[in-house]
Amino acid sequence: MAILLFFLFAAFAVGSVLGMIISRNQAYSALFLVVAFASLGGLFGLLGAPFMAVVQIIIYAGAIMVLFIFVIMMIHLGEGISAEKKKWTIAAAVFMGIILLAEIVFAVKGAPAVPMAGQEMAGTSPTEIGRLLFTKYLYPFEITSILIIAALVGAVVLIKKREGE
């Protein structure tokens, strides 16, 4: 059952990401991306990390993608890059992609099986994650708050109307 679900979610994730890249309609791409995030959430759930699964859905699918779509709706994007320029870009991208894929396949083949499937991993329950965040990873957690301040102030500086503008 878990295997079946795994392949279902994996197929959905890969398929929808492909759809996102291929689709020429930005709104479709956004929809595909939402599906991809939801399937990733499912994969996290299967790995016994329900908190990660939900966070994946709430933050990525629920909040970030909504803003993406908001922008897509507000700005009418054109058809994108012209066809002739696209041809060689696509060729180059496919070429590089194949090289990267081969590289990773080669690398993964050399790797011995990593123990993960079926085992209950430590630090996946919400309580456990909270505890880790506030003990072992307190420093990165606090730095994140500086990061958010920087992003907020930075955005406001660039867009806020000043007196006399």
Under the binding rule (CB under 8 A), the answer on residue 1 touching another protein is no
Closest Cα partner for 35 from 18, 52, 50? Answer: 18
> Which among 7-15, 57-65, 75-83, 84-92 is the span making contact with another protein, rule CB under 8 A?
57-65
Q: Return the half-sphere exposure (C-beta side, CA atoms, 13 A cut-off) of residue 37.
A: 19
Rounded to 5 degrees, what are φ and ψ at 36? -60, -45
Under the binding rule (CB under 8 A), the answer on residue 18 touching another protein is no
Under the binding rule (CB under 8 A), the answer on residue 28 touching another protein is yes
* Among 1, 78, 88, 106, contact with another protein (rule: CB under 8 A): 106
> Which among 4-12, 78-86, 87-95, 148-156 is the span making contact with another protein, rule CB under 8 A?
148-156
Under the binding rule (CB under 8 A), the answer on residue 89 touching another protein is no
Rounded-to-integer distance, Cα 8 and Cα 2, Å? 10
CA 8 to chain centre: 18
> Which among 2-10, 13-21, 90-98, 130-138 is the span making contact with another protein, rule CB under 8 A?
130-138
Under the binding rule (CB under 8 A), the answer on residue 63 touching another protein is yes
Q: Is 20:33 a contact under the CB 8 Å cutoff? A: yes
